[in-house]
């Protein structure tokens, strides 16, 4: 390819010289026909190109040859024709070249011919140099494409540049911070190893990104020679993505450097910059790959890759640890072999769909069997890895979800058990509301009849037994009613806007006789509006007030107080009383069903009241607790979610619409009596 280029270039140059020559030139073929003639020959022979052939034919007839060297003088035109054969590679004549010279300007033509020959030789030299430059650039470019580190790139460029072009001094510097650091050099006995960016021609080129050409005729104020005797310098920047990263510097001891040298250096710099940029990207990629590999190797999560045929390509240590198989063992296995048999078809279908539909990622939870036969549950995300527009493998990230899955299974089992218990409770509630109530009513009826008809006939012990029978029947009746109420409280009960202050006022009226008997006062400030079920809230505060009245201190007037505090987390309601109090060691059992802190003889209730309070509060996602001191009183603390609180802006909208007035509230509460 290079030889063809040189040949074409030479032909073009010769044709240009042929046409522009001050010497008349004629080229004849082997048959004696005119192949080429320049304008100068036609002018000297005072003829045209069409008439030239016959005139030369007549001349050749007199000379008896077309190819042997000869001279012929046209006396009338003062011309000399000088002919010489054109030989091929085997020294056979293929034609002839005729030079037409004016005898009057022979010396001038000889001088011009010498100049033409000099220009031709120079053009040929430049052509050969240019071809060498192109060959060097191609060679360097091809070699740089295979370079994998900065040092080898710098060494290659500097050595080839000095070797091919015979430059005396070549060096390459890269920027590090605020300095240029020498990477490689050729020809220097002493050299500048590091140079500040604010000094010298190299520093200026690195700062500005503008190349410099310096000769004796063009001195530079920033010039700093490494040693004396340097005549010229070319310095070009190495630019990567608009950023100067270094300089290529060429210096000469023997002659000046030209614009051609500058252009060559710029081209070399461009190739070098591209190679350095590619190496930088490669090193960054390798560093990221190393970091990624370290993270993968140290990760607690399971990370692995599988081929498109489903076989393991790579697994991290966490995968080996979980499965019980080594990487070598896993690489011989299909991923479906690890999955529990009843999940294999479903898993295969999922990933086949992902591949066909080109889904970027999928997530799936499935069980595997380890090498020891242990079942483990994985939550796995699979990502398709692409290259050149096609999928090359799949990357999987998985987490051991065994504990969570087992907990969910236990929770599901517990939930089902609770659902069964609730159904049983509802059935029991139905039975207590109907089947158990009927015999209980008969017991009460017959006890009343006995008391009425046989009062005078029963002795004291018989009357005592009859009274105990009636009390037990009433207690059982109340217990059945409380159980029915307890089972009716659910989270799906209707919610409404409730005025808490209005509710407390209505309960004050309901408990008025007992409150007067206990000289009791309920104090409270501004109370909020709540989004709740009115029946639930009535039961809650009804039980708290009833509990305080039951366990008051007879010798002291009963004081009740309700405080409400709103925080960023919840709504806190505190209900205080100055009653008997209780031992806080038993606070854990007092909210349980059928639990009371008093003996049956002392008990004034059936142990359902506070259990009912707990269930109501928990239905709304809240909590209830209590603190107390024996002989001083108690405090019940209720925490409810903020979502139950109706803000003032909402209240303004709901008072006339959904908000319940005192009359409406009384009607609503009365419907639950």
* Domain extents in the chain: 2-125, 147-285, 299-400, 407-484, 491-670
Q: What is the mean pLDDT of residues 161-186?
A: 86
Separation of CA 551 from chain center: 64
In this prediction, residue 672 carries a pLDDT of: 39
In this predicted structure, which of 388-392, 469-473, 549-553 has the lowest mean pLDDT? Answer: 469-473
Q: 178 pLDDT exceeds 60?
A: yes
Q: What is the mean pLDDT of residues 491-502?
A: 84
Write the CB contacts of 205 (distance below 8 Å, at least 6 apart in sequence).
Answer: 211, 212, 235, 236, 237, 244, 247
In this prediction, residue 655 carries a pLDDT of: 33
Write the pLDDT tens digit of every residue in 432-458: 666 667 777 778 787 788 777 777 777
Q: Per the structure block, which two tokens stand in for 253?
A: 């001891």
What is the residue whose two structure tokens read 């009057």?
104
Q: How many CB atoms within 10 Å of residue 128?
A: 13
Q: Which of 41-55, 149-163, 224-238, 243-257 has the highest mean pLDDT?
A: 243-257
- Of 3.10.310.30, 3.40.50.1170, 3.30.1330.10, 3.30.450.20, the CATH number of 2-125 is 3.30.450.20
In this prediction, residue 299 carries a pLDDT of: 67
d(CA 422, CA 673): 24
- 372-381: Cβ within 8 A, 24+ apart: 372/324, 374/324, 375/340, 375/402, 376/322, 376/400, 376/402, 377/401, 377/402, 377/404, 377/405, 377/406, 378/302, 380/302
Q: Which of 73-87, 336-350, 657-671 has the highest mean pLDDT?
A: 336-350
Element (H or E) spanning 471, and its range? helix 460-488
In this prediction, residue 657 carries a pLDDT of: 34
Q: 173 pLDDT exceeds 90?
A: yes
Is the CB of residue 381 less than 8 Å from the CB of residue 362? Answer: yes
Q: Per the structure block, which two tokens stand in for 651?
A: 């209240």
Q: Which of 166-170, 391-395, 560-564, 668-672 has the highest mean pLDDT?
A: 560-564
Write the CB contacts of 347 (distance below 8 Å, at least 6 apart in sequence).
Answer: 336, 339, 364, 366
Q: 263 pLDDT exceeds 90?
A: no
Write the pLDDT tens digit of every residue in 2-30: 455 555 555 655 676 677 777 788 888 87
Write the CB contacts of 354 (distance below 8 Å, at least 6 apart in sequence).
Answer: 362, 382, 384
Give the residue with greater pLDDT, 118 vs 35: 35
| Residue range 147-285, CATH number | 3.30.450.40
Write the CB contacts of 221 (distance below 8 Å, at least 6 apart in sequence).
Answer: none
Please tell me the total number of residues recorded for the chain in this structure: 673
Separation of CA 322 from chain center: 27
Q: How many CB atoms within 10 Å of residue 577?
A: 26
In this prediction, residue 603 carries a pLDDT of: 45
In this prediction, residue 109 carries a pLDDT of: 52
Write the CB contacts of 332 (distance below 8 Å, at least 6 apart in sequence).
Answer: 311
Q: Is there a shared CATH topology between the 299-400 domain and the 491-670 domain?
A: no
In this prediction, residue 73 carries a pLDDT of: 56
Q: Per the structure block, which two tokens stand in for 646?
A: 């109706």
Element (H or E) spanning 502, and its range? helix 500-510
Write the pLDDT tens digit of every residue in 590-625: 887 766 655 444 445 556 788 888 888 988 889 999
Q: Per the structure block, which two tokens stand in for 164?
A: 């091919």
Q: What is the mean pLDDT of residues 418-425?
A: 75
In this prediction, residue 377 carries a pLDDT of: 92
Considering the chain, what percentage of its residues have pLDDT values greater than 90? 19
| 92, β-bridge pairs | none
Q: Which CATH architecture has domain 299-400?
A: 2-Layer Sandwich (3.30)
Give the residue with greater pLDDT, 142 vs 382: 382
Write the pLDDT tens digit of every residue in 572-585: 999 999 988 888 88
CA triplet 391, 393, 399: central angle to 5 degrees?
Answer: 125
Q: What is the mean pLDDT of residues 295-305?
A: 75
d(CA 231, CA 223): 11
pLDDT band at 376 (very low <50, low <70, confident <90, very high): very high
Q: 33 pLDDT exceeds 70?
A: yes
Q: Which CATH class is domain 491-670?
A: alpha beta
**In a 10 Å sphere around its CB, with 0-12 CB exposed, 13-18 middle and 19+ buried, how is residue 416 labelled?**
exposed
Q: 389 pLDDT exceeds 70?
A: yes
Tell which residue, 640, 631, 522, has the closest CA to residue 576.
Answer: 522
pTM of the model: 0.40
pLDDT band at 501 (very low <50, low <70, confident <90, very high): very high
Write the CB contacts of 67 (distance below 8 Å, at least 6 apart in sequence).
Answer: 30, 85, 93, 95, 96
Write the pLDDT tens digit of every residue in 231-254: 888 899 999 888 999 999 988 887
In this prediction, residue 147 carries a pLDDT of: 66
Report the mean per-residue pLDDT for the chain. 78
Write the pLDDT tens digit of every residue in 312-324: 988 888 888 889 9
Q: What is the mean pLDDT of residues 76-104?
A: 72
In this prediction, residue 569 carries a pLDDT of: 86
Q: 32 pLDDT exceeds 90?
A: no
């Amino acid at each position: 390819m290079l030889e063809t280029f040189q040949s074409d270039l030479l032909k073009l140059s010769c044709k240009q010289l042929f046409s522009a020559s001050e010497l008349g030139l004629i080229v004849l073929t082997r048959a004696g026909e005119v192949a080429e003639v320049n304008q100068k020959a036609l002018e000297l022979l005072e003829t045209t190109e069409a008439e030239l052939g016959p005139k030369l034919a007549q001349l050749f007839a007199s000379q008896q040859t077309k190819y042997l060297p000869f001279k012929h003088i046209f006396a009338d035109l003062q011309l000399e024709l000088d002919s010489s054969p054109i030989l091929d590679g085997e020294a056979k004549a293929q034609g002839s070249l005729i030079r037409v010279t004016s005898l009057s300007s022979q010396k001038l033509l000889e001088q011009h011919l010498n100049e033409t020959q000099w220009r031709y030789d120079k053009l040929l030299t430049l052509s050969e140099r240019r071809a060498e430059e192109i060959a060097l650039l191609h060679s360097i470019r091809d070699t740089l494409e295979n370079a994998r580190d900065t040092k080898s790139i710098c060494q290659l460029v500097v050595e080839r540049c000095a070797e091919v072009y015979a430059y005396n001094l070549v060096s390459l510097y890269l920027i590090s911070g605020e300095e240029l650091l020498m990477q490689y050099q050729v020809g220097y006995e002493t050299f500048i190893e590091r140079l500040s960016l604010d000094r010298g021609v190299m520093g200026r080129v690195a700062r500005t990104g503008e190349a410099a050409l310096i000769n004796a005729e063009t001195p530079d104020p920033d010039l700093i020679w490494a040693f004396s005797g340097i005549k010229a310098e070319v310095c070009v920047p190495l630019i990567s993505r608009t950023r100067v990263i270094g300089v290529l510097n060429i210096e000469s001891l023997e002659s000046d450097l030209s614009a051609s040298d500058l252009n060559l250096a710029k081209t070399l710099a461009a190739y070098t910059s591209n190679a350095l940029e590619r190496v930088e990207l490669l090193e960054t990629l390798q560093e990221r790959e190393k970091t990624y590999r370290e993270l993968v190797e140290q990760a607690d999560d399971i990370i692995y890759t599988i081929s498109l045929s489903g076989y393991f390509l790579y697994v991290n240590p966490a995968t080996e640890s979980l499965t019980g198989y080594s990487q070598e063992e896993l690489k011989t296995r299909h991923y479906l072999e690890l999955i529990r048999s009843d999940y294999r078809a479903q898993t295969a279908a999922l990933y086949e769909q992902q591949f066909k539909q080109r889904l970027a990622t999928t997530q799936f939870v499935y069980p595997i069997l380890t090498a020891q036969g242990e079942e483990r549950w994985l939550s796995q995300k699979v990502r398709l890895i692409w290259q050149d527009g096609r999928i090359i493998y799949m990357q999987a990230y998985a987490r051991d979800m065994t504990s969570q899955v087992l907990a969910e299974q236990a929770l599901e089992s517990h939930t089902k058990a609770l659902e069964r218990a609730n159904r049983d409770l509802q059935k029991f509630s139905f039975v207590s509301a109907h089947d158990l109530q009927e015999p209980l009513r008969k017991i009460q009826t017959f006890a009343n009849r006995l008391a009425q008809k046989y009062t005078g006939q029963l002795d004291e012990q018989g009357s005592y037994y009859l009274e105990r029978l009636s009390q037990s029947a009433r207690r059982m009746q109340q217990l059945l009613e409380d159980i029915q109420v307890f089972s009716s409280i659910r989270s799906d009960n209707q919610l409404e806007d409730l005025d808490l202050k209005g509710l407390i006022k209505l309960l004050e009226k309901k408990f008025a006789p007992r409150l007067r008997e206990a000289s009791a006062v309920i104090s409270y400030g501004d109370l909020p509006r709540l989004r709740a079920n009115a029946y639930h809230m009535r039961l809650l505060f009804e039980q708290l007030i009833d509990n305080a009245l039951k366990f008051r201190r007879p010798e002291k007037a009963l004081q009740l107080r309700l405080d409400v505090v709103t925080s960023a987390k919840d709504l806190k309601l505190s209900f205080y009383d100055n009653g008997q109090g209780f031992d806080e060691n038993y606070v854990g059992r007092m909210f349980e069903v059928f639990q009371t802190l008093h003996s049956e003889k002392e008990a004034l209730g059936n142990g359902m009241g506070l259990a009912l309070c707990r269930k109501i509060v928990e239905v709304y996602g809240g909590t209830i607790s209590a603190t107390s001191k024996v002989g001083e009183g108690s405090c019940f603390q209720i925490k409810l979610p903020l979502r139950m609180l109706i803000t003032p802006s909402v209240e303004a909208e709901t008072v006339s619409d959904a908000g319940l007035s005192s009359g409406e509230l009384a009607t609503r509460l009365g419907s639950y009596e």
